[in-house]
Amino acid sequence: MKSMEKIVSLCKRRGFLFQSSEIYGGVQGFWDYGPLGVELKRNLKDAWWSDMIRGHNNLLVPEGAPSSYEMVGLDCTIIMHPQVWKNSGHYDLFHDHMVDCRESKKRYRFDQVRGRWCQRGETKVFVSTLAEAEHEADEVRRRAMKFFKLRAKNADELTVGDESLTLDRLDDTKSVLAPDAKSLDTLTDPREFNLMFKTTLGALGGEDDVTFLRPETAQGIFVNFKNVLDSSRVKVPFGIGQVGKSFRNEITPRNFTFRSREFEQMEIEFFCPPDQSQQWYRYWRDRRLAWYTELGLSSESLIMREHHTEELAHYSVGTADIEYAFPFLPPGEYGELEGIAHRGDFDLRSHMEGKLDPNSPEGQPMQVELNEHGKPKYRGSGKDLSYRDEVTNEKFVPHVIEPSAGADRGALAFLCEAYTEDQAPDDKGNMQTRTVMKLHPRLAPLKAAVFPLVKKDGMPEIAKEIYGNLKQHFNVFYDDKGAVGRRYRRQDEAGTPYCITVDGDSVSEGTVTIRDRDSLEQTRVKIDDVVSEITQRMS
Ligand code: GAP
């Protein structure tokens, strides 16, 4: 059975993921990728870059697209001019609601603490916990028993509600037992908390020198829009892609790497004429959903969820999320992998004119926010970020469709999907349960492993030569330790699609076996054909 506990344990044991600064007790919300993890995440980012940016064919009209289009890349800095964050809206609006516990001194995100109503006699208490979804009901019961001072033999005096609710769904928090508290009503009212990490430019560090680590890579693209137009001769419609780190001071980082404080994004800002924006929005929603299934996420575990109006981010006139059924969520719930937002002309106009008022009446162009003297409250760049169509001579501010994916959430989803327990024969031919990571070959950290059956009789020499030849093309592993069955098991856990074994026949006949990770099928091929065979299977 797949469970988050087993996946987390495999990730640590096999070197996919480690807690950051673990020898000092770790730091919440930060994760390090181990030798296998770094390859997986790099493969994911490379697949994205290759499929969306470098490999995109400018001359064809992709299925479902209104026309052909161009794609280029950027790599912008993490620290940018402070004015960027004022005009983007992040300075004023990028916050979550948090509550503090007066007893435990801990801080929680209001919409993330879950719990249930528990009743003994006339007394009804909302018992909350931060436990993972799969343990939540048990943990609530355990805390409620303790709160009501009930022994196991009196367990039937306690009623625990069926419905799991988050704190933001309650009318008031007076009857709440906070996750780390022993008494009721210890939570403050919810307050806003800006999620950007502050930092200071230079040694003097005055108020004007305060800036932020970027909370999204998108703004680097917007502020370079004109530079890209002028330097690369791209024409609207076109997209700019960027992969890079973003930082958010999440109040309650949780669920392994799902909500981290430092993470990587793979973002596209796609610039199009306003009258085509809905068509491009639909195109990108379909294109991005298909990308995940092509790389191995099952369509039963993925949904496309259109946001309700009240959920929309301050800049968005329409957003759909691609969501995945992560195993840490209760059945029927999904977590966001990627958002595809129709941002209108909000960003380019904000960087031209100063921060725009997101509360402008629906259907009206957004207004520049004014101060009490009737002057723009935030200074724009003053640069003209509009576009003139060479054919029609029409001038407009392009609308933007933004497919914004998380590389860490993607990697986590592929790890969760890949985790499989099935039956496979051991060295003696007895069927045993094996753990295998069925990662798509493009994503697998190691593409093949080479084993000499024994460390003598000319086998290591042949195996090392095959390893050397494959290494020129792929990430390959050489293993001569232990029984072959055990070596297979180690590679199954690492997600290696192919294992090549050199045996007696390799010495006498010049052939090896290639074992397929998923079908367990073993095929004999000529040693000279190994590289072409693996290349062909990989493609
Ligand atoms: N530029 C738009 C933007 O940043 P977002 O929905 O806030 O939109 C996009 O973030 C993606 O970045 C998310 O779908 C998710 O995959 C990833 N992401 C956001 N916050 C994250 C966090 N705290 N930890 C890990 N990934 C995160």
Over residues 218-245, the mean pLDDT reads 97
Q: What predicted TM-score, i.e. pTM, was given to this entire model? A: 0.88
Nearest Cα residue to atom 18 of ligand 1: 406
Q: Are 371 and 310 a contacting pair, CB within 8 Å? A: no
Is 482 a residue whose pLDDT tops 70? yes
CATH of the domain spanning 4-94+196-414, picked from 3.90.700.10, 3.90.1720.10, 3.30.930.10, 3.40.47.10: 3.30.930.10
Q: Are 263 and 139 a contacting pair, CB within 8 Å? A: no
Which pLDDT score is estimated for 40? 98
User: Ligand 1 pocket: which of 409, 414, 415 to mutate (most atoms <8 Å of CB)?
Assistant: 409
H or E segment and range at residue 498: strand 498-502
Over residues 256-274, the mean pLDDT reads 97
How many angstroms is it from 78 CA to the middle of ligand 1? Answer: 15
Is 69 a residue whose pLDDT tops 60? yes
Nearest Cα residue to atom 6 of ligand 1: 339
- Residue 341 CA: nearest ligand 1 atom is 2
Percentage of residues of the chain with pLDDT beyond 70: 95
Domains of the chain, by residue range, sit at 4-94+196-414, 97-193, 446-538
CATH of the domain spanning 446-538, picked from 1.20.1260.10, 3.40.50.800, 3.40.50.10330, 3.40.1360.10: 3.40.50.800
Tokens of 113: 């603490």
Q: Are 356 and 369 a contacting pair, CB within 8 Å? A: yes
Q: Is cis: bond before 35, omega within 30 of 0?
A: no
Which pLDDT score is estimated for 367? 59
Q: Are 494 and 445 a contacting pair, CB within 8 Å? A: yes
- Residue 338 CA: nearest ligand 1 atom is 14
Over residues 328-336, the mean pLDDT reads 92
Is 368 a residue whose pLDDT tops 90? no
